[in-house]
Amino acid sequence: MKTYKRTLVTSALPYANGPLHIGHLAGAYLPSDLYTRFQRMRGTDIVHVCGSDEHGVPITIAAEREGVTPQQVVDRYHSLNKRTFERFGISFDHYSRTSSPVHHRTASDFFLKLLEKGVFKRKEEWQLYDAEKQMFLPDRYVKGTCPSCGHPEAYGDQCESCGTSLSPSELIDPVSALSGTPPEKRRTEHWYLPLGEFQEKIDTWIGSHPEWKPNVLGQCQSWIQAGLSDRAVTRDLNWGVPVPVDGADGKVLYVWFDAPIGYISATKEWAEAAGDPDRWKAYWQDEQTRLVHFIGKDNIVFHCIIFPAMLMAHGGFVLPEQVPANEFLNLEGRKLSTSRNWAIWVHEVIEETDPDLLRYVLAGTMPETRDSDFSWKEFQQRVNTELADVLG
């Protein structure tokens, strides 16, 4: 087994469009905190970074719904979630945000490096356009009927009823989520990452990690067997990291491309704050570093196929050594749903309950190999019997 000099731990960047619920904690943040604390006790050289994912359509949708700017939305939820993590005892070494100047520079430089190496394909294509709002419609701005299960409220990127990944063109009877009118098609141009060109390298690399969890390997193998295709790295939107080339006005880096680069920019900020600006390189560019991504199962493809392909294309970066993805936590037998307000909001519950009690129970019901369930009855029982009675 390979030995390492240091470990870098990342936790999936939470969207800054709402507060954290207990499903977030059980999926990516409590597991990473427990692992990091254990490694620190062993004397491991370990750094744990995270931050708010502040770009993408969910942010602009939240801003429009509330009648405020996207910056106001991310400022509010970044502060709330950062404070929530601190009060819950999640011990990040640095908690960043993707709207920071360091991240914008890092993401722009990463894009330009791939552009300089001739990695991207540039394509002109037809995309859905809302003539009433005078804008191209990102996938989340298109709603329609799911072609897989018939759910009438599917989004242009995914059906939240059956979980099928979609594109806006696959929806039946699509309408704009902004105006409610059927969109028209117009031509636009974007840069694409040719994932298919990295398929063999990705397949070989994943095959060298038989120790990964079955849910991780299974999802990766399913994507690889289906064949990896070109994936757009830019989109027509007015919120995000601007595409750093002439003639790209009104285009930003696609959030799936810019968000994982946030791990790199967060490590840079940590190094700067520590007074050693170049120290980040040891954690990203030295083969003696173990890189571990803690995520939920909905992020497996991005962290095990797409981000590694980006790192391979760039060159000079270590690849993930382990990606322990957790399944989902349900609440009282039902799937957590922020839109239906079926959730336990962490910032509220820690006002009434000792965070350590919730940490204990969530650690015992963590959805490591399959979806698990949280109930207040079990919470009460475990606190009273295991903590107050047995331990007390």
Mean pLDDT value of segment 52-62? 90
271: number of Cβ within 10 Å: 19
pLDDT for res 143:
94
Say how many C-beta atoms besides its own lie within 10 A of residue 193's C-beta. Answer: 23
Element holding 6 (H helix, E strand):
strand 6-11
Query: Which positions ≥6 away from 269 have C-beta within 8 Å?
Result: 94, 96, 100, 102
pTM over 0.85? The answer is yes
User: Please, are residues 93 and 40 in contact by the beta-carbon 8 Å criterion?
Assistant: no
The pLDDT of 91-112, averaged and rounded, is: 98
What pairs with residue 23 in β-bridges?
none
- The mean per-residue pLDDT over the stretch 355-381 comes to 96
* CA–CA dist 174, 344 (Å, integer): 33
* Predicted pLDDT at 109: 98
Residue type for 304, please? C
Distance of alpha carbon 203 from alpha carbon 222, whole angstroms = 11
Contact 140, 177 (CB under 8 A): yes
pLDDT at 85: 98
Instruction: Report the candidate in 41, 24, 64, 13 with the shortest Cα–Cα distance to residue 238.
Output: 64
311-357 confidence digits (pLDDT tens): 999 999 999 999 999 999 999 999 998 777 899 999 999 999 999 99
Instruction: Give me the residue label for tokens 């993930």.
Output: 320
| The pLDDT of residue 157 | 84
Cα–Cα distance between 151 and 61 in angstroms, integer?
Answer: 21
CA–CA dist 36, 39 (Å, integer): 5
Best CA proximity match to 49, nearest among 351, 307, 318, 270: 270
CB–CB of 294/33 below 8 Å? no
Sheet with 372-374, strands from edge to edge, namely: 334-335, 329-331, 372-374
Say which residue the tokens 């940490």 belong to: 359
**pLDDT value, residue 141:** 87
pLDDT of residue 1: 67
The predicted pLDDT at position 340 comes to 78
Question: For residues 217 and 322, is the Cβ–Cβ distance under 8 A?
Answer: no
